[in-house]
Amino acid sequence: MANVLRNSAKFGFSGVLSQLSIHSRHGRECVSPCFSLQQRNNSTSPKIKVDLDSSTGVAVLRMQSPPVNSLSLDFLTEFCINLEKLEMDRSCRGLIITSTLSKVFSAGLDIMEMYGKSPERCGEFWKAVQEMWLKLYGSNMVTMAAINGSSPAGGCLMSLGCDYRIMADNPRYSIGLNETQLGIVAPFWFKDTLVNTVGNRAAELSLELGLLYSAPDALKIGLVDQLVPEDQVLSTAQDTMSKWLAVPDHARQIDQCVISVCIYYINTSPLPPDHARQIDQCVISVCI
């Protein structure tokens, strides 16, 4: 879900506003995560399958890249291309992301994309990772992650980029940003996204220890929003999506706009004296 200043509030945490400016599909100029897509995907086997129900306005994006939906450069490119197509389709209001693979949502970043590669190649890969995050986190659609398997590291980041997360209640599945366990420092925008979701202290412990949470523990700290039986993850996401889409777009955008600006300034010290005026302007901008 998105609006002009909600995106501003989100990206304000990470300092990327100055580089991004496009026109939204609603015709207003806004800050939005839309990089120019490079045709990097040379794979002939689709890693992403998208089904859009025009009657409901809900698309289901299924990741299908065996064995574990690793986020390779090709995968990320195909993912972003499909996401951009849905953003441009006015009939699409909601997106559910899930996996076709057994026991795994996404195992995260493809480590081989970083091993023994040139600085240029590594730079291209990390740009693709950030592109995925920006497009999800600033999407105009309502986005939900139907997490039907384990989702460590980059897989967790993908789900964090969504508005709502439903996970299979299975003791074998885990989720979290466990980069520290691999000797990798999670980028600051990984951290900001986690902090915005679970709070400062939980995020601090999670990142320092590289924790992977069981489904019940993930629910307890707010990393996921709902647990359901494994065979009901997608259907629950579809039912929940219908409730979100029942709210008029402009009303939902105003609420999210106010919440986002408040959160941003609560986390800003000292609190700017003009914060109230800025919140008012946020509401007015969305109404216009």
Query: Among 3, 41, 82, 178, which one carries the catalytic annotation?
Result: 178
Q: In this structure, what are the phi and psi dihedrals at residue 143, rounded to the nearest 5 degrees? A: -120, 135
- The residue behind tokens 């300092």 is 15
Query: Among 61, 109, 134, 212, which one carries the catalytic annotation?
Result: 109
**C-beta of residue 223 within 8 angstroms of C-beta of residue 198:** yes
**C-beta of residue 107 within 8 angstroms of C-beta of residue 153:** yes
How are strands ordered across the β-sheet holding 142-147? 48-53, 58-63, 94-99, 142-147, 164-168, 226-228
Closest CA to 74 of 35, 21, 113: 113
Q: Is 178 designated active site? A: yes
Query: Among 148, 179, 196, 234, which one carries the catalytic annotation?
Result: 179
Query: Among 108, 149, 154, 210, which one carries the catalytic annotation?
Result: 154
Round to whole Å and give the CA distance between 217 and 197. Answer: 14
CA 100 to chain CA centroid, Å, is 19
* Residue 270 neighbours by CB distance under 10 Å: 5
Round to whole Å and give the CA distance between 214 and 192. Answer: 22
Instruction: Return the active site residues.
Output: 109, 154, 178-179
